[in-house]
Amino acid sequence: MRDRHLCFLIGETGRNPNAAAQLAPQPSVRGGSHSQPAPLLFFLVPSPSESSKASRTQRAAAMASPDAEQPAPTEPARWRDLDMLLSRPGNLVEASFDPSPTLRDLLGSLVEVLVVGAGGLGCELLKDLALSGFKKLHVIDMDTIDVSNLNRQFLFRVQDVGKSKAEVAAKRVMERVSGVNIVPHFCRIEDKELEFYSQFHIIVLGLDSIEARSYINSVACGFLEYDSNDNPLPETVKPMVDGGTEGFKGHARVIIPGTTPCFECNIWLFPPQVKFPLCTLAETPRTAAHCIEYAHLIKWDEVHSGKPFDADDAEHMQWIYSEALKRAELFGISGVTYSLTQGVVKNIIPAIASTNAIISAACALEAFKLISGCSKSVSNYLTYNGLEGTHIKVTDFVRDKDCLVCGPGTLIELDTSSTLAEFIKMLEEHPKLRISKASVTHEGNNLYMQSPEVLEQMTRPNLSVPMFELLKGVPCATVHATGMAENNGKKVSSLRKLRVAFKGVEASNMDTTESS
């Protein structure tokens, strides 16, 4: 996950335009989509026994100011609205839904939820999930609190600046919502082993980068296994709810690996970030942003011979600002300010607290529905736009059946004695694959590369080694092969996911989960 510090001024800031919501993209939409009725969002917040207008206002005030004293409502009353959702049958419930007053207890005592990110969206998510009956939560974030976060990351106070977001957020929500346990993880998402992620029943994402989403998606989809008919095995499905906001826009989507599109299936929803041509920056700057990018991308290296630029170093930022200002004066361009400099360099666009609240509410509701089955899930991508009126739209995106991350791949059975060379031969002969000249990779180990020559030489010795040995003796594993495959009589380059299973090797439950 990319470093996401926001260490600067007060000002409404959030990061990375790429990261979040793209507005209701149109292509490859299948059929109609059903929206969730918005009022449901509001039922979810447990209310005290008297649901008079006055007490609601009080409750809102208490939430807005967690430091205020507020007697904890008595348990049954507190969860009354939630219990209604869980104990009544209906026409819109999931087929598996079995209404019962004990569901809330199960929800609280059994379901482990991971919230990824404790920033603007993460703070909201933790609060919403805790108030929706989830009691076993974990939160992971590598960031520390910056003064500029305080305007919207409402769990944090001035005295928290510099502390771990995950730790402070967990503590605050536990103080406010009795009976909830939140375990904070102050680290990078990549620092955790797969075992850590496997313990959760659902993962809720409040992230602002494509990279981090893509990573969590690959982890969650990595647990997915298929049966021999390429149907996902329900017990290996690790659902995700992904939220993202960008200014007045946001999205909430439900990813059920093997059933709905995964993040990678629709990665094209996130267009590459707009980049200015370097020569425009060097020769013909026309805007304040051009001047700032010139100082950032060209001038810095010219002057600092190899010293890397650190966007979180205030001195570095000040230097970029003053250089950009000089450049702007030279070309008669106005508008370079310190905060614009930060905005351009760190790719910041304004973050709106209410967008976070709306998207988080939608995400928490989806998590609640996925787990309880008390209503059908959104299918499968909700976009919200609070600009020029308010628009909410749900789009039913379709899976990429050949997705390398969530697709079933092709099952190949091998003897433990089969060598890599024999395996490559099998790929050529396999009726579903017919991949010639395959290069093979496994979890970042390049087992064999047909090209370029340097890599072919380095990997050639593997050809005579049994696959069982190359895959470190696991009963089954996912490998990827690249090569020329036949498609409608034409040879096209392709990249395929393969499930390799070794004949006669016992696969225990967890091992298969792990290596697929």
Least distance CB 265 / Zn ion (angstroms): 4
CA distance linking residue 246 with residue 358, whole number of Å? 12
Q: Which of 21, 44, 85, 103 binds other proteins (CB under 8 A)?
A: 103
234 binds other proteins (CB under 8 A): yes
Q: Work out the angle at residue 150's Cα, subtended by the Cα atoms of residues 11 and 242, and round it to the nearest 5 degrees.
A: 95
Side chain identity at 169, as an amino acid letter?
Answer: A
What SS3 class is residue 133?
coil
Q: What angle, 0 to 180 degrees and rounded to 10, lies between the N-to-C axes of helices 120-130 and 165-176?
A: 30
The active-site residue, picked from 262, 279, 291, 476, is 279
Q: Give residues 252-281 in contact with Zn ion (rule: CB under 5 A).
A: 262, 264-265
Residues 403-442 that bind other proteins (CB under 8 A): 404-405, 439, 441
404 contacts 264 by C-beta, under 8 angstroms: yes
Cβ 168 to other proteins shortest distance, Å: 28
User: How near is the Cβ of 259 to Zn ion at its closest, in Å?
Assistant: 11
The sign of the CA dihedral 118, 122, 124, 130 is negative
Q: Which of 139, 406, 470, 498 binds Zn ion (CB under 5 A)?
A: 406
Per-residue burial over 134-149, b if 16 or more Cβ lie within 10 Å, else e, is bbbbbbbbbbbbbbbb
Work out which of 443, 469, 486, 491 binds other proteins, going by CB under 8 A: 443
> Considering the rule CB under 8 A, would residue 274 count as an interface residue with other proteins?
yes
Is 279 noted as a catalytic residue in this protein? Answer: yes
Residues 370-409 that bind other proteins (CB under 8 A): 370-373, 377, 404-405
Neighbours of 329 (CB within 10 A): 12
Q: Is 92 in the site for other proteins (CB under 8 A)?
A: no
Tell me which of other proteins, Zn ion, none is bound by residue 227, counting a contact when its beta carbon lies within the kind-specific cut-off of 5 to 8 angstroms. Answer: none
Residue 443 touches which of other proteins, Zn ion, none (Cβ within 5-8 Å per kind): other proteins
Among other proteins, Zn ion, none, the one that 302 touches (CB under a kind-dependent 5 to 8 A) is other proteins
Query: Judged by CB under 8 A, does residue 76 bind other proteins?
Result: no
Span 471-510, contacts to other proteins by CB under 8 A: 480, 482-483, 493, 495, 508-510
Which entry of other proteins, Zn ion, none binds 406, CB below 5 to 8 A by partner kind?
Zn ion
Give the CA distances from residue 501 to residues 223, 228, 315, 414, in Å, rounded to whole numbers and listed in that order: 16, 12, 55, 6
Give 165's contacts (C-beta < 8 A, 6+ positions apart): 118, 119, 122, 141, 143, 144, 145, 149, 153, 156
| Binds other proteins (CB under 8 A): choice among 35, 65, 199, 354 | 199
Which residue from 376, 392, 362, 381 is spatially nearest to 124, judged by alpha carbons?
A: 362
Confirm or reject binding of residue 297 to other proteins (CB under 8 A): yes
Position 223 contacts other proteins (CB under 8 A): no
The reply on whether position 465 binds other proteins by CB under 8 A is: no
For residue 417, report the phi and psi dihedrals to the nearest 5 degrees. Answer: -90, -10
509 backbone dihedrals φ, ψ, rounded to 5°: -50, -55
Q: How far apart are CA 74 and CA 15, in angstroms?
A: 40
256 binds other proteins (CB under 8 A): yes
**Contact criterion met (CB below 8 Å) for 341 and 11:** no
Question: Does 219 engage in binding with other proteins (CB under 8 A)?
Answer: yes
Cα dihedral 146/148/153/154 (nearest 10): 100
Task: Report in angstroms how near the CB of residue 264 gets to Zn ion at its nearest.
Answer: 5
What is the set of active-site residues? 279
Q: Which residues here bind Zn ion, judged by CB under 5 A?
A: 262, 264-265, 403, 405-406
